[in-house]
Structure 1
Amino acid sequence: MWPFTKSKEDDTSLVPRRDELNTMARTLLEVARLDFDSSSQLEQALTATFLFGMIFAHGSTHGMQPHEVHALSLVVFQDTLHYSDAAAAEGVQQAISASTPGYHNTMHAIIHRGIDGHRQYVEGDRAGLGENIQSVLAHFRKNEEG
């Protein structure tokens, strides 16, 4: 074996987290009463941004590194939201950028609603989580209609 060759570690530590987060994402869609694939682009973007906040909060409470939260966000967007690789990468990057205050204030606020949504999810407050995401969607539907 060459001395400069490094074998890749078989790290599967994120696999259980992926399953947990996909369950969380499915619960979000259920309490939102949202058929994500049939939703408008606006509803999809709002829901994905909210979900990113939930994933971010999960990562923070479990001491995860930013690259782990990034990776898990990508796969959950693909697994549960059915985003393509490119759409997941774009959506997650936009959410990461919006986590910086001043970059996109509306997305930033929705991420924080998702952080609160994570608390509601962990506490088993499905009704509160549903009201939280539905109020975000309703606010923007109202503004979209005029």
Structure 2
Amino acid sequence: MTDFINADDINDVILAAAANELEEMVNRICELIGTPLEQTTELERQVIAAFGFGAVYGITHRDQLREPQAHALSIRMLIKPFLYSEQQAVDFADDLIRVASDREAHPVMNTIIHRGIDGHYQFTQDDNEGFARNIKEILTAVRS
């Protein structure tokens, strides 16, 4: 008997791996800033989520995901680990997509997303020093 893997199964595996990678990245961020996600302020959670959205962008290009898959991955990231409701996650993901494609819509958030692209690369390369500096600089700037 021969087992066949179809394209949907492969996509499910890729998306599950990407979702796990995003959760690991968020967990690493929380370790580096010394604050569990549930103890962050709403502003900090939004910043970390936007940074994570940059990682979604990096994963999308690396794994050659289609737009609906990237959108689903973004929503999933906002629901778990960030614990936004489904509607909040959909609305926030739509805002992040708009901001990522139009710098003028929200220049600060656009910059955070792009720093998240760099952060994802730092994370995957185990550049903990650069990764920590990247997210800490952003959080320091938005807290001021």
TM-score range, shorter chain: 0.7 to 0.9
In terms of fraction of residues, the more helix-rich structure is 2
Find the aligned partners of 1:35 and 1:16 in 2 and give their Cα distance.
23
- TM-score under structure 2 normalisation? 0.84
**Residue equivalent to 2:12:** 12
Find the aligned partners of 2:138 and 2:125 in 1 and give their Cα distance.
20
Find the aligned partners of 2:133 and 2:25 in 1 and give their Cα distance.
16
**Residue equivalent to 1:136:** 138
**Residue equivalent to 1:6:** none
Find the aligned partners of 2:12 and 2:115 in 1 and give their Cα distance.
30
Q: Where does structure 1 lack aligned partners over 5 or more consecutive residues? A: 1-8
**How many residue pairs were aligned?**
134
**Residue equivalent to 2:44:** 43
**Cα-Cα RMSD:** 1.7
Contact 1:18 1:76 in 2 (8 A): yes
Find the aligned partners of 1:28 and 1:92 in 2 and give their Cα distance.
20
Q: Which amino acid aligns with 1:85?
A: E
Stretch of structure 1 that moved more, 78-87 or 130-139: 78-87
Find the aligned partners of 2:105 and 2:75 in 1 and give their Cα distance.
21
**Residue equivalent to 1:120:** 122
Identity of aligned residues (%): 28
Contact 2:26 2:48 in 1 (8 A): no
Runs of 4+ in 1 over 3 A off after TM superposition: none
- TM-score under structure 1 normalisation? 0.83
